[in-house]
């Protein structure tokens, strides 16, 4: 087998000269060369033919990209070999294109989520060849489709990422995987996968391969997995397109794959060779079940891995960049590593994004991140013609066969949160035909071993799943009741499993300065309002701050408070969900990282910098932690042990004034069973006459763990905080930088910000007391001069945010 990557120089050409004369005249004057894979926006940016669409309001200046057709072409040399069958492999063609080889049409692409295989043996010439991919003007095509699909949104009429039609005004066009020509005289392998199930203390592995046979022959199939070798002779014939083989590995010979925090995510190499084809990937051994049984509270929804119930601590994945040309493997891996560092154990690939690269799924396997995989159907209704249905079936078949071997893959989901109007018969029938008749049927046939969920919405699984929005809950969402029993009796609007919830915040000041126009650093300026995930985000941010905090002077303080509100809202919801275990079995936070510099729901801003939310989640999701719920004049203290081991803890509760007067202290000792939530105490602080002048601090300690949390006893905007007189001493610690933070009076919600310097802090968004200074390490991603770090470092706290000049 010979694989030829068409990685030479490619040429981009616009096909509407009249349009380009006004929108991008430079493109008419010079040849634009590029390397695959690529998208049109990124190519034009690299050649300085358009302004950066991520800055200010410039995204609208590149709208012409979808109004004109485009040609991507390359010239390559070819030597024809007798008896060889040559096939052009195209994947990630986004999205409506005709493919030409030496001027001859060899096929077309209409689905960015499909792989296309075009036989090209006859079309290839000896020596010089020209391959051209011609993209139709997307806007023109969609305008034409509207006549046949009245009422459907634009994103439903074409198979590409729905987020390309979102609020940012960027709709990429391009090819996102390297085009290749695969040549062989015997066999073209289209897919192979290996799944396992546990039977009588043995892992039974099922290997399956699909492909096209060019000549009848006998061939040796060789499989090696986890040190086990299998050889079997296969009879290959042109009328066959799939082959399978089963074999067993003793359970004690391999360690199981587990989600992060529940044991090692053990993976093993597997290799396959057949008739000149060879490949290698990593596999894992685990069992996955979904418990959707009836219980005393209704219908449950729990994911069990290796027989053990998993509380899903997940995030929604929408990619790291809107422009495919800017996506790199290192950025994807870095974001996923950050998630595991913060305590997450699952990821939901959202229906509005795209099926991810192998780098993504391989990283999830290695890191122990369970994958909930949506199919890319974010709308309630889609076209009902046969061509569309055939395209969807090809998409589902390709993606399921590509992904099913990954041990991290746990759930396949038919689509997003939108459901048809139950009063509209046409919508209901349309939904049933596509989502059940095509997507579900095909997915279950190809991967019966995986859990399948029809839709991530309230009506799914009898209201077990629900999308929640922190926008409607806000900071007022705290537990009712004065003890654990009463809290669990009042479950309010909680679902058994939350498929998505969110709350927006502004990105850091350094990020804002990177995308706003000069003189526009203001939350209501045009540059700012165009950079938000929803039109109402800035209004919600401002109103939430006003409701709970003293209104800030200037954007820097508003950024700080917006991120603090986001962290408080999300962490309180997560705390409440964990209190509700096992009634509640998990959540997905929307979203992990921004794919565009904007005010949005993400925990990591565009570029990789952690927001306060990410640091708060790391504390909230720690294996051993306290949950402090304040209601009226009571503080309810709970201790969560998320580990598999029993833990003996000491918990102390102290009340103090902001000026340092000690008011009361209590100490509790408890033994926390594995995977448990234990009530430590429910303390009455009504003896404090003026709660605006005092606070509580809770300490949890074991020989290995020390955690401390400061709790305000009144609304933050009512509290009479003192200037903490914060100071930070810096010192080198190898490549990293140590920050010793101290104060004269209690400092609440202290945040360190290193500006544009890449890296993350070992801890952040913490509160400290005068007698308990804190040492935080900044983990640098590159070489950083200590003085440069000192100049960039900003230190924020709640007193600073509320003070007036």
Give residue 425's pLDDT: 84
Residue 461 pLDDT class (50, 70, 90 cuts): very low
pLDDT bin (cut points 50, 70, 90) of residue 476 is very low
Same fold, 2-182 and 289-619: no
For 622-718, the fitting CATH number among 2.60.40.420, 3.30.70.20, 3.40.50.2300, 2.60.40.10 is 2.60.40.10
- What pLDDT digit, counting tens, does each position of 149-183 carry? 777 888 888 999 999 987 777 899 999 999 999 99
pLDDT digits (tens, 9 = 90+) for 31-72: 899 999 999 999 999 999 999 999 988 888 899 999 999 999
Are 236 and 203 in contact by the 8 Å Cβ rule? The answer is no
- The CATH code of the domain at 186-286 is 2.60.40.10
104: Cα separation from own chain's centroid: 41
- Domain coordinates in residue numbering, the chain: 2-182, 186-286, 289-619, 622-718, 727-802
Q: How much is the average pLDDT of 199-228?
A: 96
Kindly indicate whether the domain formed by 2-182 is annotated with CATH number 2.60.120.260. yes
Task: Please state the φ and ψ torsions of residue 794, each to the nearest 5 degrees.
Answer: -120, 140
Q: Would you state the pLDDT for residue 494?
A: 61
Q: Output the pLDDT for position 495.
A: 65
Distant-in-sequence, close-in-space partners of 445: CB < 8 Å, separation ≥ 6: none
Fold exhibited by the domain 289-619? TIM Barrel (3.20.20)
pLDDT in tens, 306-346: 999 999 999 999 999 999 999 999 999 999 999 999 999 99
The CATH classification number of 727-802 equals 2.60.40.10
Tokens of 746: 């209690």
What are the structure tokens assigned to 166, written together? Answer: 């979102």
In tens, the pLDDT along 265-303 reads 999 999 999 999 999 999 999 999 988 888 777 777 889
Q: Counting every residue, how long is the chain?
A: 805
Across 564-690, where does the E strand assignment appear? Answer: 586-589, 624-631, 634-641, 647-657, 662-672, 676-684
- Residue 169 CA: distances (Å) to CA of 57, 163, 172, 280, 596: 10, 10, 10, 40, 11
């Amino acid at each position: 087998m010979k694989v030829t990557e068409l990685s030479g120089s490619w040429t981009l050409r616009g096909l509407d000269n009249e349009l380009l004369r006004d929108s991008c005249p430079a493109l008419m004057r010079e040849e634009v060369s590029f390397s695959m894979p690529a998208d049109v926006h990124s190519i034009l940016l690299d050649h300085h033919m358009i302004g950066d669409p991520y800055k200010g309001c410039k995204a609208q200046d590149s709208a012409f990209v979808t109004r004109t057709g485009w040609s991507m072409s390359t010239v390559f040399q070819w030597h024809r070999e007798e008896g060889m069958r040559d096939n052009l492999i195209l994947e990630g063609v986004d999205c409506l294109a005709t493919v030409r080889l030496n001027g001859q049409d060899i096929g077309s692409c209409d689905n960015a989520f499909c792989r296309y295989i075009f036989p090209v043996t006859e079309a290839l010439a000896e020596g010089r060849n020209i391959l051209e991919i011609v993209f139709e003007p997307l806007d023109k095509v969609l305008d034409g489709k509207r006549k046949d699909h009245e009422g459907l949104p634009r994103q439903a009429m074409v198979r590409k990422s729905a987020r390309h039609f979102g609020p940012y005004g960027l709709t990429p066009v391009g090819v996102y995987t390297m085009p290749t020509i695969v040549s062989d005289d015997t066999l073209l392998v289209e897919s192979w996968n290996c799944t396992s199930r546990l039977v009588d203390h043995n892992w039974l592995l099922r290997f399956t391969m699909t492909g096209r046979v060019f000549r009848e022959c006998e061939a040796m199939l060789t499989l090696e997995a986890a040190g086990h070798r299998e050889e079997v002779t296969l009879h290959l014939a042109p009328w066959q397109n799939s082959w399978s083989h089963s074999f067993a590995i003793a359970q004690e010979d391999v360690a199981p794959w587990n989600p992060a925090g529940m044991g090692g995510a053990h993976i093993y190499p597997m290799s396959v060779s057949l008739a000149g084809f060879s490949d290698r990937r990593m596999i894992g051994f685990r069992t996955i079940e979904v418990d959707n049984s009836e219980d005393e509270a209704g219908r449950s929804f729990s994911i069990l891995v290796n027989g053990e119930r998993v509380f899903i601590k997940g995030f929604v994945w929408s990619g790291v960049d809107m422009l495919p040309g800017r996506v790199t493997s290192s950025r994807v891996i870095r974001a996923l590593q950050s998630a595991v560092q913060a305590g997450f154990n699952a990821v939901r690939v959202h229906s509005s994004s795209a099926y991810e690269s192998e780098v993504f799924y391989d990283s999830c396997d290695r890191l122990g991140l369970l994958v909930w995989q949506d199919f890319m159907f974010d709308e309630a209704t889609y076209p009902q013609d046969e061509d569309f249905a055939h395209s969807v079936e090809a998409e589902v078949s390709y993606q399921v066969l590509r992904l099913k071997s990954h041990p991290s893959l746990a759930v396949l989901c038919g689509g997003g949160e939108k459901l048809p109007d139950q009063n509209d018969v046409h919508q209901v029938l349309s939904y049933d035909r596509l989502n059940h008749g095509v997507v579900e049927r095909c997915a279950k046939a190809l991967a019966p071993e995986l859990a399948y969920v029809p839709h991530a919405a309230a009506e799914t699984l009898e209201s077990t799943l629900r999308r929640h929005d922190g926008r409607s809950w806000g900071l007022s969402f705290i537990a009712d009741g004065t003890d654990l029993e009463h809290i669990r009796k009042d479950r309010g609007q909680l679902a058994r499993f939350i498929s998505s919830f969110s709350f927006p915040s502004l990105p850091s000041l350094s990020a804002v300065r990177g995308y706003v126009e000069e003189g526009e650093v203001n939350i209501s300026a045009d540059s700012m309002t165009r950079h938000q995930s929803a039109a109402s985000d800035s209004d919600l941010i401002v109103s939430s701050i006003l409701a709970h905090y003293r209104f800030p002077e200037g954007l820097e303080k508003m950024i700080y408070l917006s991120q603090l509100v986001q962290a408080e809202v999300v962490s309180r919801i997560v705390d409440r969900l964990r209190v509700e275990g096992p009634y509640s079995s998990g959540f997905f936070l929307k979203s992990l990282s921004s794919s565009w510099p904007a005010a949005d729901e993400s925990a990591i801003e565009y570029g990789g910098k952690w927001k306060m939310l990410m640091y708060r989640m790391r504390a909230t999701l720690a294996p051993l932690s306290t949950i402090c719920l304040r209601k009226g004049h009571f503080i309810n203290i709970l201790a969560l042990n998320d580990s598999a081991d029993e833990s003996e803890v000491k918990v102390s509760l102290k009340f103090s004034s902001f000026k340092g007067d000690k008011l009361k202290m209590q100490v509790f000792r408890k033994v926390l069973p594995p995977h448990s939530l234990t009530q430590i105490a429910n303390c009455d602080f009504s003896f404090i006459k003026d709660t605006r002048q005092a606070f509580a601090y809770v300490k949890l300690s074991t020989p290995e763990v020390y955690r401390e949390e400061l709790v305000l006893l009144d609304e933050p905007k009512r509290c009479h905080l003192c200037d903490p007189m914060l100071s930070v001493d810096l010192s080198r610690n190898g490549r990293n930088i140590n920050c010793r933070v101290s104060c004269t009076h209690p400092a609440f919600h202290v945040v360190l910000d290193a500006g544009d310097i890449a890296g993350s802090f070992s801890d952040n968004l913490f509160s400290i007391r005068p007698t308990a200074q804190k040492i935080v390490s900044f983990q640098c991603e590159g070489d950083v001069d200590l003085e440069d770090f000192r100049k960039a470092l900003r230190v924020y706290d709640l007193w600073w945010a509320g003070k007036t000049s």
